[in-house]
Copies of this chain bind each other. A is one copy, B any other.
């Protein structure tokens, strides 16, 4: 039997703000879905553990009277409509994970959003806070991670109109199953386009160590790093690994390995200023005695400084040409996807600073190096992005860890930010 939402006697009997303990109890229950046994989770998009967790979230939200709906790309929405017909403050993150991942990441942000909404609901109902001007929608975005279905941030990309729904639904995983079939099998698909958003808020663990180092409990994200993402296909020719003479070889794996090494050397040329990586690399035919004929790889360059990113890009293309000559291969750049440094709305950052100061939480402006669903949402509506610290910055790893007091401080902070957004504090300042 799957874990059940925590229902403390107090919160079940009277609709008052659930305590920090309620949040932590729900967080522990949620972390059982896809648990890996080493403290992490494995719940890739629309797999069974992801689906179980989504059903659990639905029960959690419905028990508080929220209306739960799935949209045309499988985003899970919990609607709290106190102002009939008014647009929504969208608050949430994503519950899907990498194959072996930490249990915080986006899942923390969805549960924090739900508990923030529960507290506001109780305050509005109990008269502890004036009735809002906007409604609240808790969202669990579909497939933020992109490990099973590419690209990442799929649910928020479709919601914000950056990716056509039909294109996203047609994407297939490595076994050939489509997004559409995977979502439909779990009953997570409809024709609905989702609620109308007025504002957005998201909270996430930092995935870096700057806040821990600086003793900051709440990060106010003011912009994202720019990124260039490339898919390269390195074309060589099959040969016998033993007998083929070295000058005759056209070794695709050698060419690809030179690009992996080049990526790191480019990062080392701009210490702390440029991040590079190759996370995925596939070899064909991948047999012990065959020189590989084709290798595909995904390579990223990221920087907070667009000029440095342009320099890094130029270096990369020089290194591609070198690898082509040295390994006698052809390097095909199949796709390239880039985004610039873009700011979150400054008035949202200021609202966050006011909230943090009011709560007495140590806070600072930070940038996000990772992409988030809020990176899409901020292009649609004023968006407040918050971070809580991540011990040692460990991310996408079963050892990811954030302290309980930081988790619950984050829920307090998110509650106040969503309350302010729902009260219309940014109204008239949008756009």
Contact = CB atoms under 8 A, between A and B. Distances in A.
Interface in A283-341: 283, 285-293, 298, 300, 302, 327
Interface string A3-33: 0000000000000000000000000000000
Contacts of A282: 283, 286
A285 B207 CA distance: 18
B291 A280 contact: no
Contacts of A245: 208-209, 272, 275, 393
A261 interface: yes
A396 B290 CA distance: 6
Nearest to A298: B288
Given A239-B395, A243-B370, A396-B238, A254 B248 contact: no
B244 A393 contact: yes
Interface stretch (A60-68, A145-153, A165-173): A145-153
A281 B260 contact: no
Nearest to A151: B288
A107 interface: no
A380 interface: no
B395 A240 contact: yes
B242 A300 contact: yes
Most B Cβ at <10 Å: residue of A257, A302, A369: A257
Contacts of A394: 239, 244
B208 A244 contact: yes
Contacts of A283: 280-282
A99 B284 CA distance: 9
Interface stretch (A263-271, A347-355, A407-415, A420-428): A263-271
Nearest to A146: B288
Nearest to A207: B243
A98 interface: yes
Interface in A216-266: 225, 227, 229, 237-246, 248, 251, 253-254, 256-258, 260-261, 264
B287 A242 contact: no
A100 interface: yes
B397 A238 contact: yes
A278 interface: yes
B290 A147 contact: yes
Contact of A237 (B206, B238, B278, B397): B397
A277 interface: yes
A122 B245 CA distance: 41
A37 interface: no
A176 interface: no
B261 A246 contact: no
B254 A261 contact: yes
Contact of A271 (B238, B246, B281): B246
Nearest to A267: B246
A279 interface: yes
Given A209-B245, A242-B370, A260-B254, A279 B268 contact: no
A246 B268 contact: yes
A246 B275 contact: yes
Contacts of A343: none
Contact of A286 (B229, B281, B285, B289): B281
Interface of A: 98-101, 145-147, 150, 152, 206-209, 225, 227, 229, 237-246, 248, 251, 253-254, 256-258, 260-261, 264, 267-268, 271-272, 275-283, 285-293, 298, 300, 302, 327, 368-371, 392-398
12 contacts: A147-B290, A207-B243, A209-B248, A242-B277, A242-B300, A242-B369, A243-B370, A245-B275, A246-B264, A261-B261, A279-B291, A289-B396
